[in-house]
């Protein structure tokens, strides 16, 4: 468990140095320097940053449109897929959404040997449309719209109520429904207390089994919430500097993610601790990629981001051309 807090502090320090474009310093942790791990704060990760900046806040801020764009993006969770839809059909909107046209575009992408889903986590198929899998998810988006998801989301009884609403739709298991609830809560459409609840995914359950073997999986939510509540005391006890995210402390979803990461980290750092998953390798290696673009956080958070960080490597939104757009440019 002490390694959990040390990992969080070290990983966040690396992020703060990169986002401020400070000179790199050697990382004393050979595991952290060799392998790829997500940020201590979920919203800082590349796909979450793209979601918040380019998908949620860059277009029409009506609740229905924001919820629609968020759900459509997150069911695939892949930047290339979103940009392919934008290039081929225009920025997705409720008024123009055509599941059949979007499906044809994604089918062609697959025929070219390119993935349309992220590998970050598995999104199970839904029965609304048997094949291809992506058509089922496009039809799921249409079903959510027809059922008034945006209005119901805004009227939900807090974050837990939003999670239960999302979980009521086909193919939305506990982990996926909660991840989507958090993503919607980043947007301007809803504004619930993120510390209200959390759902532990398989990776987090494995991490918890390594850090606290006596904790039963059914108690994982309570355990994560308790860990989150005592973060300042734990960092102080271990003499660790953890300034938070420009005035924001770790939220339960961040602590949940950190348990996923300590599960991976321990495969190399503590190979004798098997956990419940029994996995032994970390697949993704880390390679330095230079300074990060200027971060963009939900304005409603009111974070005190220093001017040097707001300038970043690229203060303006960065939209790179997709491979399909590059191909079209050749003709």
pTM of the model: 0.91
- Provide the pLDDT for residue 64: 97
Bridge partners, 285 (sequence order): 35
- Provide the pLDDT for residue 311: 66
Closest alpha carbon to 199 in 275, 124, 252, 123:
252
**Token code pair at residue 80:** 């290339």
- Provide the pLDDT for residue 281: 86
- Provide the pLDDT for residue 282: 87
Burial 104-119 (b: 16+ CB within 10 A, else e): ebbeebeeeebebbbe
Q: Name the DSSP class of 59.
A: S
In 3-state terms, what secondary structure has residue 275? coil
Give CA–CA dist 277/294, Å, rounded. 37
- Provide the pLDDT for residue 213: 96
Contact 211, 1 (CB under 8 A): yes
Closest alpha carbon to 257 in 6, 43, 16, 27:
43
- Provide the pLDDT for residue 327: 37
Contact 64, 271 (CB under 8 A): no
Contact 55, 73 (CB under 8 A): yes
pLDDT tens per residue, range 76-98: 999 999 999 999 999 999 999 99
- Provide the pLDDT for residue 27: 82
From first to last of its 331 residues, the chain has per-residue pLDDT tens of: 999 999 999 999 999 999 988 887 888 899 999 999 999 999 999 999 999 999 999 999 999 999 999 999 999 999 999 999 999 999 999 999 999 999 999 999 999 999 999 987 778 899 888 789 999 999 999 999 999 999 999 999 999 999 999 999 999 999 999 999 999 999 999 999 999 999 999 999 999 999 999 999 999 999 999 999 999 999 999 999 999 999 999 999 999 999 999 999 999 999 999 889 888 888 888 877 767 889 999 999 999 999 888 765 544 444 444 444 333 332 2
Contact 155, 191 (CB under 8 A): no
**Token code pair at residue 169:** 């739709």
- Concatenating the DSSP letter of every residue in 152-201 gives HHHTSSHHHHHHHHHHTSTT--HHHHHHHHHHHHHSSS----TTS-----
- Provide the pLDDT for residue 313: 52
Cα dihedral 128, 133, 138, 140 sign: positive
Q: Name the DSSP class of 300.
A: G
């Amino acid at each position: 468990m002490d390694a959990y807090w040390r990992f969080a502090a070290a990983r966040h320090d690396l992020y703060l140095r990169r986002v401020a474009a400070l000179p790199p310093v050697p990382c004393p942790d050979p595991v952290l320097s060799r392998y790829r791990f997500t940020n201590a704060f979920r919203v800082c990760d590349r796909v979450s940053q793209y979601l918040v900046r380019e998908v949620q806040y860059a277009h029409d801020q009506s609740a229905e449109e924001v919820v629609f764009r968020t759900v459509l993006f997150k069911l695939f969770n892949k930047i290339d897929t979103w940009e392919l839809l934008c290039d081929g059909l225009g920025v997705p909107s409720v008024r123009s959404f055509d599941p059949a046209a979007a499906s044809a575009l994604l089918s062609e992408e697959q025929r070219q040997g390119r993935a349309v889903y992220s590998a970050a986590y598995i999104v199970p198929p839904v029965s609304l449309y048997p094949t291809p899998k992506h058509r089922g998810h496009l039809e799921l988006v249409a079903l959510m719209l027809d059922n008034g998801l945006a209005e119901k989301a805004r009227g939900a009884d807090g974050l837990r109520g939003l999670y239960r609403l999302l979980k009521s739709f086909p193919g939305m298991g506990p982990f996926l429904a909660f991840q989507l609830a958090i993503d919607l809560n980043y947007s301007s459409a809803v504004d619930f207390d993120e510390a209200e609840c959390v759902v532990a995914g398989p990776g987090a359950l494995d991490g918890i089994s390594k850090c606290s073997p006596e904790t039963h999986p059914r108690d994982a939510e309570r355990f994560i919430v308790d860990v989150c509540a005592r973060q300042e005391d734990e960092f102080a006890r271990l003499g660790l500097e953890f300034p938070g995210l420009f005035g924001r402390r770790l939220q339960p979803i961040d602590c949940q993610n950190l348990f996923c990461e300590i599960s991976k980290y321990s495969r190399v750092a503590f190979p004798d601790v098997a956990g419940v998953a029994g996995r032994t390798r970390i697949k993704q290696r880390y390679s330095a990629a230079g300074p990060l673009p200027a971060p963009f956080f939900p304005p409603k958070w009111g974070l005190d981001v220093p001017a040097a960080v707001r300038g970043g490597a690229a203060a303006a939104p960065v939209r790179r051309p997709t491979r399909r757009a590059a191909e079209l440019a050749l003709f």
